[in-house]
Structure 1
């Protein structure tokens, strides 16, 4: 699943076209965006899309940095059944040239090999750890989240971006599906560069009773 500092966020979206009697003004298009039109391909879901939390639209700042493509096999790898984790719904994208996309991953310091795993976030981990686990369906037995790595995504890299599937961690802990966008990246070692790693530290916040 996924993972403090830095800014630069990202994601993508696209809308269907509607014919209007009155034409809208023609927008100015960045040459980098004119190479390939961003059209959403059909998405795959483990269950009905209506049962997945959130939507498939990317933030505006990210939508211009990706091109939607079709890769049913890669998409299927990222989709999980209910209570299994992974994605509930997703879309395959390719990172455009001349853009900067930052990805974040929280991982397990006792397992160095987990630094470049398959699951990443588009935002830096913040706030309560328990809430972060719930947002990204990260069971306690999967990772203590005591390390974070921040990397840039290479142009041409193929990823799946979608919302999280529900996960069952134990007989007393379940995470529901989440609207938070996650990134599935199969070849993290090859598709990421300029990485920085960070240690988690204790930071206790007083509990205010109402």
Structure 2
């Protein structure tokens, strides 16, 4: 695979049909239970190009693992799906090279990153303390694997920085090291772009 630029990698890096109908939910997805009223933007419905590759399944425990409280990150809402037989799905994750254990973490995306690292952090609620986003992995999700697809919960990184909920879909995988195969790793490089005048 061709080498990706740091900016593209940073964009990628950042994070059902067990369903519980939350108040106001009509699609079978579940929202995080919080003391505050949280509106979860976006949808847990799969992108059209992937809709026929997954089956909604019932797994309340997996769904609960993926949902987060307001300002704590994770997912705001989610839906559990299982990958169909004879199907392989490419996924992408940005991670922290100083912590090799983060390579196969829980949070993945359907799309290769593009744009600035700051935009990517906001889209996927990734605090600077959690990762410098200097590595990216591209892997294939195995058939029959269960995942949660949802949109991001808000995250407070410091008293000066809070990311709001996001419409960008994230994929939660409980044990990525066994759920993924054919992984390729990319390293980030500075690729400075001129600012508009």
Which band: TM-score by shorter chain? 0.7 to 0.9
* Residue 98 of structure 1, CA deviation: 1.7
Q: Which runs of 5+ in 1 are unaligned?
A: 6-11, 14-39
C-alpha change, 1:148 and 1:118, in structure 2 (3 Å) is same
Give the count of matched residue pairs.
Answer: 174
Matching residue of 2:70:
82
**Which whole-Å CA distance do the structure 1 matches of 2:194 and 2:27 have between them?**
47
Structure 1 residue matching 2:184: 3-state secondary structure: strand
**Which whole-Å CA distance do the structure 2 matches of 1:180 and 1:52 have between them?**
11
The aligned runs of 1:1-210 (5 Å cut-off) are 4=4, 42-47=28-33, 51-209=39-197
Q: Which runs of 5+ in 2 are unaligned?
A: 6-15, 18-25
User: Do 2:38 and 2:70's aligned partners in 1 also have CA atoms closer than 8 Å?
Assistant: no
**Which whole-Å CA distance do the structure 2 matches of 1:187 and 1:47 have between them?**
24
* Residue 56 of structure 1, CA deviation: 2.0
**Which whole-Å CA distance do the structure 1 matches of 2:40 and 2:27 have between them?**
18
Larger relative contact order (CA 8 Å, sep ≥ 6): 2
**Which whole-Å CA distance do the structure 1 matches of 2:87 and 2:38 have between them?**
32
Larger radius of gyration: 1
TM-score (norm 1): 0.78
**Which whole-Å CA distance do the structure 1 matches of 2:161 and 2:27 have between them?**
35
**Which whole-Å CA distance do the structure 1 matches of 2:29 and 2:96 have between them?**
31
User: Do 1:68 and 1:94's aligned partners in 2 also have CA atoms closer than 8 Å?
Assistant: yes
Deviations 1:3-57 (A, max 9, x none): x59xxxxxx99xxxxxxxxxxxxxxxxxxxxxxxxxx973221158970011222
User: Do 2:147 and 2:173's aligned partners in 1 also have CA atoms closer than 8 Å?
Assistant: yes
**RMSD between aligned residues:** 2.0
**Which whole-Å CA distance do the structure 2 matches of 1:151 and 1:112 have between them?**
16
State the 4+ residue runs in structure 1 displaced beyond 3 angstroms. Answer: 47-50
